[in-house]
């Protein structure tokens, strides 16, 4: 078994794979104040509650966009799983050709998504990740990463709206019955859900037009991918495990174990 950690600004997503098969996935809140012991105790409890013997985990890999947690999580893996995890950093083999101005600027999560997208869906491809930010990755017909778009994230936009006003409440992010909303809660839900659907639809349309590839496949992942995909027809499929699958592929690409 191997363990994969996708460390984002909001959540840390874990996956345990038994060979190619997913044995367990879960997420916890990202907290830079937590120690390796706190993360380790939390991890062992979740593994035990799901019937997974931590001693069977023989390797791991970490992708992180939160540098403050890199040492903490590496130490957690060492102390509680007795493994030295791979980290997505320069020198790790990805098989990805990066046709951008500065490849080192590209977030680890976007690199992983590109690797998984190529492996699972081929090229050309647009990958949309609804995370803390909403990112669009574009892979051309050669499978090269040629660039993309970074837009605000859905949850962050809602948080900004709530925190910046005195009377607007915090609401669940879900589709209201109508675009013409009748109360404050559904007004906000309409703005967030239909607003982001419009943003995504327009950006994908512009990408397809610039590439002159009207039939390029579009894959969405991330927490709110299903909510938005139901509103627009430019998203061909939703793959909630794209990033974790990408980490699995990278681990086996850089390790003899399988």
Q: How far apart are CA 231 and CA 208, in angstroms?
A: 19
Give ∠ CA 86-152-143 in degrees, rounded to 5.
50
- To the query of whether residue 109 is one of the catalytic residues in this protein, the response is yes
Buried residues in 121-157 as b, exposed as e (16+ CB within 10 A): bebbbbbbbbbbbbbbbbbbeebbbeebbebebbbeb
Residue among 6, 109, 129, 239 flagged as catalytic? 109
Whether 81 contacts 54, CB under 8 Å: yes
Q: Which residues are catalytic?
A: 109
């Amino acid at each position: 078994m191997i363990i994969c950690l996708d460390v984002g600004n909001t959540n840390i997503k874990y996956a345990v794979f038994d060979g190619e098969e997913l044995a367990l996935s879960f997420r916890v809140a990202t907290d830079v104040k937590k120690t390796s012991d706190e993360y380790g105790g939390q991890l062992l409890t979740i593994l035990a509650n799901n019937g997974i013997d931590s001693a069977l985990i023989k390797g791991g890999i970490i992708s992180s966009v939160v540098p403050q947690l890199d040492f903490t999580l590496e130490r957690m893996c060492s102390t509680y799983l007795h493994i030295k995890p791979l980290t997505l950093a320069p020198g790790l083999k990805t098989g990805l050709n990066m046709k951008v101005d500065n490849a080192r600027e590209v977030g680890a999560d976007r690199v992983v998504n590109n690797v998984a997208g190529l492996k699972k869906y081929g090229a050309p491809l647009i990958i949309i990740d609804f995370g803390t930010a909403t990112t669009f990755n574009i892979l051309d017909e050669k499978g090269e990463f040629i660039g993309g778009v970074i837009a605000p994230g859905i949850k962050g936009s809602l948080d900004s709206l709530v925190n910046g006003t005195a009377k607007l409440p915090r609401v669940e992010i879900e589709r209201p019955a109508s675009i013409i909303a009748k109360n404050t809660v559904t007004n906000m839900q309409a703005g967030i859900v239909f607003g982001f659907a419009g943003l995504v639809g327009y950006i994908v349309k512009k990408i397809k037009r610039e590439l002159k590839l009207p039939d390029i496949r579009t894959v969405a992942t991330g927490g709110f991918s299903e909510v938005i995909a139901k509103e627009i027809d430019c998203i061909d499929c939703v793959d909630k495990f794209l990033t974790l699958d990408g980490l699995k592929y990278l681990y086996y690409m850089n390790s003899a174990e399988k």
